[in-house]
Chains A and B, each alone.
Chain A
Amino acid sequence: MLEEIKVRLETSVPGCSPEIILNGSPSGQHSLLLDSAHAVEAATFLRDDAELRLDYCSNVTGVDWLPTETSPGYLEAVFHLYSMEKKHGPVVLRLRTENRTDRVHLPSLTPVWRSAEFQEREIFDLYGIIFDGHPDLRRILMWDEFEDHPMRKDYVEPDDYEYEPTAHDDVLTKAKQHAIRQPQ
């Protein structure tokens, strides 16, 4: 079914070239990788097309891929779409940023599906992806003065390990740091 959607997207939205990403697990939920320039058009097509009618965007997830030898690392937004009218799904869309540091802009799909509103704000708060076109992009879960993006893989949390009743492994090393610094 995903091949048909790919073909129809290529014909209806000129310039759009989705790529199919295969899924290794037995769930069989393969995904379509869209490019940022045509994402909003492709999403509108998917929502309004008479056969697909994917009018329900169920889930928007942010993923952080660290740099490897082959790629500079990127942040990703994954959309799960279902159809309430035709009762089929899921169709999985992916949007990727170019790297993790400065080029982290993605188009917002909130004008297409309003359910993405809070979820994109959460991805901005926790991962740092900036969604262009979002009506109200600000922090949602952390306080406004907070400066980090906590869900990234390289986030270092603040050190408040002064009191650890059952310390072991790396928590024990962190607790020992405090003991050495403040002897009684």
Chain B
Amino acid sequence: MISMTTPPNQEMHEGLVADGGQDELLEIALGPHHPSTHGVFRMDVVLDGERVVKLKPVFGYLHRNHEKIAESASYLASMPYTDRLDYICSLTNNWAYALAVEKLAGLQVPERAEYIRVITAELTRLVNHTATIGFLTQEMGASGTPLMYAFREREKILDLFESLTGSRMMCNYMRFGGCRVELPAGWLEQTKKVVKDFPRFLDEYEQLLTGNEIFMARAQGVGVLKKDLAINAGITGPMLRASGVNYDIRKVDKYGIYDRFDFKIPLGEHGDVYDRYMVRMLEMRESLKILNQALRDLPQGPIMDPKAKIRGFRPKPGESYGRIEAPKGELGFYLISDGSPNPFRYRVRPPSLINLTVLEDMCRGYSIADTIVIFGTVDIVLGEVDR
């Protein structure tokens, strides 16, 4: 769809010469409404035939000024808004915000709450990675079938979230110093059953996709991201690990109680689309390992810090930066407090926005169809990019 709101950017064509004997370069705008279902995102691409010569991402179509609202709301009132940042995985957003506030105010979290947080976060990781791989196959042209399988599993986990928190997607479950409600009766058994059945779904998916000729031809060697560029551009999450860098915040910062669990970090070699897909599949298997250990060792006890104040929460003046390994990358919250009930500055460090920095480098030289696939593996969510 040709965009008519902003004038065509003359600087895009400067210094570029068409290769292959054609005289003109074609400049089009992909989006903001396109069927790739990642949201309202626009890419201004300059094409030479079918090859991409230059690409500039344009966003802001979902800028809902979350940070400005947080400055006039109390700390706890911003918690439901964090659900809407990365709206596919809401519980990890809640945990990142609760972590930042707990660092700011010096609150301790009891053990049972930590275990529950790990269980919900790893379930969220499963939800996110199945959805991502499902959408990736849809962008490659398998119109809807693997996506249906992925959503079938996702619905089972969303049922668990609904019985625990009351809502399928916008869970709003963590509080500063613990969790909001106790686990309902029978929830643990249900979760154990879902976790026991999940590897069968992963095997089914691998059988469909991993050795599939079309998938391998479209994914291997496409959209390569080199290690040094990834580190310098601040990429985090499965994209970084697919390029071969061993950096997972669960192992580096050891927030929560992640140092008690035994799990590995899958690393890729080439940094192409296929590696990113494999890293996500293997991460799902590692998440299942963590879930089994956490469900086995869950202790009894309180779920909230008894010293945490719900009403009249005024942390001392200061600042803190808390970050976690969200399914998409490093999600961080930077808070500056000036002693009042509202934060002075509330900032979200969005993994999707930073991961978009290298989109142009990855897509240069590939065709338009590959661009859509590469964009699918960056795995962005517009609620997070635009906030």
Contacts and interface: CB of A to CB of B under 8 A. Distances in A.
Given A24-B316, A113-B234, A140-B60, A80 B357 contact: no
A139 B234 CA distance: 21
B354 A115 contact: yes
Given A140-B60, A141-B60, A25 B315 contact: yes
Contacts of A144: 6
Given A114-B233, A141-B63, A61 B347 contact: yes
Contacts of B349: 58-59, 80
B321 to A, nearest CB: 6
B357 A117 contact: yes
Contacts of B320: 23, 25, 27, 29
Interface in B55-108: 59-60, 63, 65, 67-68, 103-106
B319 A84 contact: no
Say whether chain B's binding surface is mostly helix, strand, loop, or mixed: mixed
Contact of A25 (B59, B63, B316, B345): B316
B207 interface: no
B336 interface: yes
Interface in A101-135: 113-119
A27 B107 CA distance: 10
Nearest to B317: A24
A124 B53 CA distance: 27
B229 to A, nearest CB: 8
B357 A27 contact: no
A150 interface: yes
B330 interface: yes
B337 interface: yes
Nearest to B344: A63
Nearest to B386: A141
B118 interface: no
Nearest to B103: A27
Contacts of A73: none
Contacts of A87: 247, 252
Contacts of B235: 115
B252 A115 contact: no
Given A59-B334, A151-B68, A114 B63 contact: no
Contacts of A90: 321
A92 B316 CA distance: 19
A114 B67 contact: no
A184 B330 CA distance: 53
A25 B334 CA distance: 13
Chain A CB within 10 Å — which of B316, B319, B332 has the most? Answer: B319
B353 A118 contact: yes
B5 A143 contact: yes
A141 B62 CA distance: 9
A137 interface: no
A26 interface: yes
B323 A58 contact: yes
B174 interface: no
Chain A CB within 10 Å — which of B68, B245, B315, B386 has the most? Answer: B68
Contacts of B233: 114-115, 117
A25 B337 contact: yes
B334 A142 contact: no
A114 B356 CA distance: 11
A52 interface: no
A32 interface: no
Chain B CB within 10 Å — which of A26, A116, A139 has the most? Answer: A26
A143 B4 CA distance: 13
Given A25-B103, A78-B334, A118-B356, A59 B321 contact: yes
B319 A25 contact: yes
A140 B68 contact: no
Chain B CB within 10 Å — which of A23, A25, A57, A118 has the most? Answer: A25
Interface string B345-367: 10101000110111000000000
B231 interface: yes
Nearest to B252: A87
Given A56-B234, A118-B354, A143-B5, 7 more contacts: A24-B316, A25-B316, A27-B322, A56-B231, A57-B234, A61-B334, A119-B354
Closest 5 CB pairs of A and B: A115-B234, A25-B318, A26-B106, A27-B320, A24-B318
Interface of A: 23-27, 29, 55-59, 61, 63, 78, 80, 84, 87, 90, 92, 113-119, 139-144, 150-151
Interface of B: 5-6, 59-60, 63, 65, 67-68, 103-106, 229, 231-235, 245, 247, 252, 315-323, 330, 332, 334, 336-337, 345, 347, 349, 353-354, 356-358, 386
16 contacts: A25-B104, A25-B105, A25-B317, A25-B319, A26-B103, A27-B319, A58-B330, A61-B334, A87-B247, A114-B232, A115-B232, A118-B354, A142-B63, A144-B6, A150-B68, A151-B68
